[in-house]
Amino acid sequence: MAEHNDLGAWGEDKAQEYLESEDYVILERDWKDGKRDLDIIAETPDGELIVFVEVKTRTVNDGQMPEEAVDLAKIKNLRSAANVYVKTYEVDKPLRFDIISITGSDGIVQRFKHIEDAFNPLLF
């Protein structure tokens, strides 16, 4: 597996650990719709919302904040994949789109940021 794939999987593991420690219920991880994917799909601790979590992980020396990689094209892809997920599983709860941004390397987290309600895909 390529190094960036290893880093991404490590970041998703860290994000899942965090969400579970905050009592989110993980419904899916790496859910795919063709070439589009949703990193983590979770339910909030109160069971009221379904949260689509985009996990972005970068090394310390990358130069860009991980959350900055969630651009318009990425938001459109997330919107499309979430739409398929909602229709496929007949989701009838409100939705939220979060970003978990992780900077680190060699298994050490340097920066971890959970951005709740990071964007509204209907505005794009």
Domains and CATH numbers, the chain: 3-116 (3.40.1350.10)
Enter the tokens of residue 75. Answer: 């938001």
How confident is the model at residue 124, as a pLDDT? 67
42-101 pLDDT per residue, tens: 999 999 999 999 999 998 776 789 999 999 999 999 999 999 999 999 999 999 999 999
The label of the residue with tokens 């959970």 reads 114
Q: Residue 97's beta-bridge partner residues?
A: 52
Pairing between β-strand 25-33 and β-strand 95-105 as defined by DSSP bridges: unpaired
* 1: pLDDT strictly greater than 50: no
pLDDT at 6: 86
Average pLDDT over residues 99-109: 91
Would you mind telling me the total number of residues written for the chain in this entry?
A: 124
Residue 37, pLDDT above cutoff 90: yes
- pLDDT score, position 13: 95
Cα 50 to Cα 7: distance, rounded to the nearest angstrom: 26
In this prediction the pTM is 0.92
Task: Say what the alpha-carbon torsion angle 100, 39, 65, 9 is, to the nearest 10 degrees.
Answer: 100
Strand ranges (E), 1-124: 25-33, 36-43, 50-58, 95-105, 108-115
Give the mean pLDDT of the chain: 92
